[in-house]
Amino acid sequence: MSRVVLGPFNRVEGDLEVTLDVDDGRVRSARVNSPLYRGFEQILRGKHPFDAMVFVPRICGICSVSQSVASALALRDALQLEVPPNGDRVTNLLLACENVADHLTHFYLFFMPDFARAAYAGEAWHAAVKARFEAVSGRARVSMLPARARFMHLMGLLGGKWPHTLSLQPGGSARAVSGAEVIRLFAILREFRGWLERELFGDALEAVAAIDSAANLARWAAARSPASSDFACFLEVADALGLAALGRGTGRFLSVGTYRIGDAPAYAGGVWDGALRPFRHEDVVEDITSSWMMAPSAPAHPWAGDTEPDMDKDGAYSWCKAPRWQGQVVECGALARQVVDGHPLARSLAAVDGGSVSSRVVGRLLEIARTVIAMETWIREIRPGEPFCQRADLPEEARGVGLVEAARGALGHWLVIRKGRIANYQIIAPTTWNFSPRDQAGTPGALEQALVGAAVPAGEGGALQVQHVVRSFDPCMVCTVH
Amino acid sequence: MSDRFSVLWLQSGGCGGCSMSLLNAESPDLYQTLELAGIDMLWHPSLSEASNGEFIDLLQRVCDGSQPLDALCLEGSVMRGPNNTGRFHMLAGTGRPMMDWLRELSDKARYTLAIGSCAAFGGIPMAGDNPGGACGLQYDGKRSGGLLDRDWQSSGGMPVINVAGCPTHPGWVTDTLMALAVGELDAAALDSLNRPRSYTDHLVHHGCTRNEFYEFKASAELASDQGCMMEHMGCLGTQAHADCNRRPWNGEGSCIRGGYACINCTAPGFEEPGHTFTETPKIAGIPIGLPTDMPKAWFVALAALSKSATPKRVRANATEDHTVVTPASRKTGLK
């Protein structure tokens, strides 16, 4: 048995270190460490509750809008506010824009460049993948970056800028939209749809969203050349490298549900482990056995949670806490969202491989197609002239919870207001779920489990399989270690 | 020295948002801009292939001088805590505080740039009682001198160049790097906080789309109102140094155009304004923070005068989220 320490991982958001125990060229056990602490939960204590809206997006520059939405929802819950439907529509558009752009960034800039590495030079597909996806010089980014930037004009129009908007308010959207602007939003989205259908999918979004099983996905891929689209190209690589057998997760998927109009989410929430179970936030605790945090005696629900750093704690190895649902390790992200929502392709993939490098990427691309279609609906439903924001009056004592799905999974904010100030603010980010350390029972987190079995060839510093597994979760360490 | 300009980009106690903002660069996009300016990104955490040991080797080559470096860019605060050990950010795979790496690398680079207000001044992580011990590269909040002494200069003869903003605008970063690459950025191009004057010689107020409401002191009262946000909503646009309304974000955006107050994010200490961000502090009904360079007596007199002269249209529209009274159309007599 030998020990390997890998880090820093780039092309993830934030700093990440992974310690592996390797035997016979395979990972036997893994420990994931987020080596940065900033202390947002401490900073928020004592602040005016509305000031949270300035601080929380700055937890993370890639999940910025998601953090804002979670905070707005937590405040909305605490204030018992009813938001006008226009406010929900604009919120959904901003959130969807961030999530879709993040999926795109992940696929083109973070994930695919690993397959362009020299280590794969002997593979039949390598030359084409290198030409298209190699870091910095690959051709795909020539059209991808401008397409992404123009798509994000939606952020400029509705949110002022990205990242770090303050247009998302507890009462809805501070930015009202005129009829002329609705037309411009349509133009932005139509242009982006055109790019997706031409470059990423080589097919209509509706056709991608209609693929309903792992077998039909294989048929879809077999019916076209890998050069016809980036999705087809990925499926060829995934097939050749067996990515569906790599990075198997817990098979237990969490989504808190997202894109609400009123109380109805466009993607339903729940936990799927072969059957759909309801998700209640009361079933969540954070365990800090392996975290550099001063310990209360038992894992606590976030409303009762605390954050005090302690770097010298015995047995601790990460700044990340270990959230558990009904005591269980769960996986979240685009695949989990689509599985929980009941999309037949996602359910089929989950049944075949329980969550893998390949199915996590397919889940993300499937979600791009579905979400852009939904965005067109929300734009069509905007009613200029009707209100976008509700007045918000602050109570002296209240508590609230805000649950939303960021690109990389379930995000929750738990807020306690006392004497008109924030008494406690606890955050569980998607990568806190996925990259959690061991809990008091010694059970490793989702990534720690998914890494077991990955190949670590002797003398090869890159440990490419480990990198594929890590990046398949699209981790965001800065959210994790708020 | 090669005629290419090399950049090493590191992240510490920040959110990565300045890098995300950089990807929004347009016409030309980020990669084209770098290419056209002859800039080689030796390593960037979101963009480069090299990971783990490959990257640590690169850092060591810069430290031993075998890899020349033109510009070191830091994004995120320097994390000094706990107790000045820097252990709140150990650079993964190295077992060494990032703070120590930064000190060593900044001595090797011709220029050192702080990308965003965290790296420049400490920024958001300094809020509250600064639990992480955050500071900027050459500022500790408003005080000169951070990780590096106040008199520190890079081998290129410049202090840390503070491309402040939260996040920073992609154009502010690419303009600064391009100017350095062609040797067109000297000490005179920086303001008193060592920010590039290319964007800080402007106020956010310049080009504000709510200017008519400002002129007549027709004020917004609630989020989503169209009126001027200075009087009640905490807007610092008349005091904040940046060109956000002349050079918009993500196509046509800015904070004010997005419906919310400018919080002066290019300034040190913006994270602790001493009041709720979205409420204007006042004494006897008069905002405490007056427009930059405006004598108080004149401001009060002009505000009173303009309030009494406010057209009905402007007053009515200020507290609505859409135009309820349109500008009058006059017949011009022209056919």
Do residues B318 and B228 lie in contact, with contact meaning Cβ atoms separated by under 8 Å?
yes
**pLDDT value at residue A297:** 65
List Cα–Cα distances, B293 to B206, B298, B299, in angstroms. 14, 11, 10
**pLDDT value at residue B1:** 45
Q: Which of B33, B42, B49 to mutate to test the interface with A (most CBs of A within 10 A)?
A: B49
List CB contacts (< 8 A) between A47 and chain B: 128
Identify which of B11, B82, B277 has the shortest CB distance to residue A51.
B277
Domains in chain A (CATH in brackets) are 2-480 (1.10.645.10)
Identify which of A48, A54, A163 has the shortest CB distance to residue B20.
A163
List CB contacts (< 8 A) between B278 and chain A: 50, 53, 166
Identify which of A14, A60, A167 has the shortest CB distance to residue B260.
A167
Do residues B218 and B325 lie in contact, with contact meaning Cβ atoms separated by under 8 Å?
no
To the nearest whole Å, the CA of B96 is away from the closest chain A CA by 11
Cβ count within 10 A of residue B211? 15
**pLDDT value at residue B2:** 56
**pLDDT value at residue B166:** 98
Mean pLDDT of chain B: 95
For residue B20, the SS3 value is helix
The residue behind tokens 């499926």 is: A235
- β partners of residue B163: B115
To the nearest whole Å, the CA of B335 is away from the closest chain A CA by 28
List Cα–Cα distances, A2 to A30, A451, A456, in angstroms. 12, 16, 11
- Annotate B113-142 with three-state secondary structure: EEECHHHHHCCHHHCCCCCCCEECCCEECC
Do residues A165 and A155 lie in contact, with contact meaning Cβ atoms separated by under 8 Å?
yes
The residue behind tokens 């609906």 is: A377
Q: Which two tokens stand for residue A352?
A: 């075949």
C-alpha dihedral (B203, B207, B209, B210), degrees to nearest 10: 50
List CB contacts (< 8 A) between A46 and chain B: 128
List CB contacts (< 8 A) between B17 and chain A: 58, 60-62, 64, 163-164
Report which DSSP code applies to B203: B
List Cα–Cα distances, B135 to B84, B215, B270, B320, in angstroms. 11, 39, 14, 42
Identify which of B77, B128, B253 has the shortest CB distance to residue A159.
B253
**pLDDT value at residue A459:** 66
Nearest-by-CA chain B residue for A50: B276
Which among B254, B247, B206 is positioned nearest to A161, based on CA atoms?
A: B254
Dist. CA B22–CA B39, nearest whole Å: 15
Do residues B164 and B114 lie in contact, with contact meaning Cβ atoms separated by under 8 Å?
yes
Alpha-carbon dihedral sign for residues A131, A133, A134, A138 = positive
Dist. CA B256–CA B237, nearest whole Å: 8
**pLDDT tens for each residue of B118-137:** 999 999 999 999 999 999 99
Domains in chain B (CATH in brackets) are 5-200 (3.40.50.700), 202-322 (4.10.480.10)
**pLDDT value at residue A460:** 55
**pLDDT tens for each residue of B230-255:** 999 999 999 999 999 999 999 999 99
Residue A216 CA to its chain's centroid (Å): 26
| Most distant pair of Cα atoms in chain B: their distance | 79
For residue A427, the SS3 value is strand
pTM of this structure: 0.97
Low-confidence ranges of chain A (pLDDT < 70): 296-297, 459-462, 481
List CB contacts (< 8 A) between A392 and chain B: 223
- Percent share of chain B, pLDDT over 70: 99
Burial class (CB in 10 A: 0-12, 13-18, 19+), A184: middle
**pLDDT tens for each residue of B279-317:** 999 988 888 888 889 898 998 899 999 999 999 999 999
Residue A154 CA to its chain's centroid (Å): 20
**pLDDT tens for each residue of A389-401:** 999 899 999 999 9
Which among B87, B86, B76, B161 is positioned nearest to B123, based on CA atoms?
A: B76
Q: Is residue B228 scored above 80 in pLDDT?
A: yes
Which among A323, A360, A325, A324 is positioned nearest to A339, based on CA atoms?
A: A360
Do residues B7 and B40 lie in contact, with contact meaning Cβ atoms separated by under 8 Å?
yes
To the nearest whole Å, the CA of B303 is away from the closest chain A CA by 26
Average pLDDT over residues B216-226: 97
Q: Which helix H or strand E contains A104, and what residues bound it? A: helix A85-105
Strand order in the sheet with B111-115: B39-43, B5-11, B71-75, B111-115, B161-163
Q: How would you classify the pairing of strands B39-43 and A331-332?
A: unpaired
Report which DSSP code applies to A198: I
Total CB pairs under 8 A between chain A and B: 267
For residue A43, the SS3 value is helix
**pLDDT value at residue A150:** 97
Complex-level ipTM: 0.96
* Cβ <8 Å between A43 and B127: yes
**pLDDT value at residue A477:** 77
**pLDDT tens for each residue of B187-213:** 999 999 999 999 999 999 999 999 999
pLDDT band at B335 (very low <50, low <70, confident <90, very high): low
Residue type, A244: A
**pLDDT tens for each residue of B16-66:** 999 999 999 998 999 999 999 999 999 999 999 888 888 999 999 999 999
To the nearest whole Å, the CA of B248 is away from the closest chain A CA by 8
The residue behind tokens 């006042």 is: B282
* Cβ <8 Å between A149 and B23: yes
The secondary structure of A342-404 as a DSSP string is T-HHHHHHHHHHSS-HHHHHHHHHHHHHHHHHHHHHHHHH--TTS--B------SSEEEEEEE
Dist. CA A400–CA A196, nearest whole Å: 38
Measured CA angle at A9 (ends A137, B33), to 5 deg: 30
Dist. CA A7–CA A19, nearest whole Å: 9
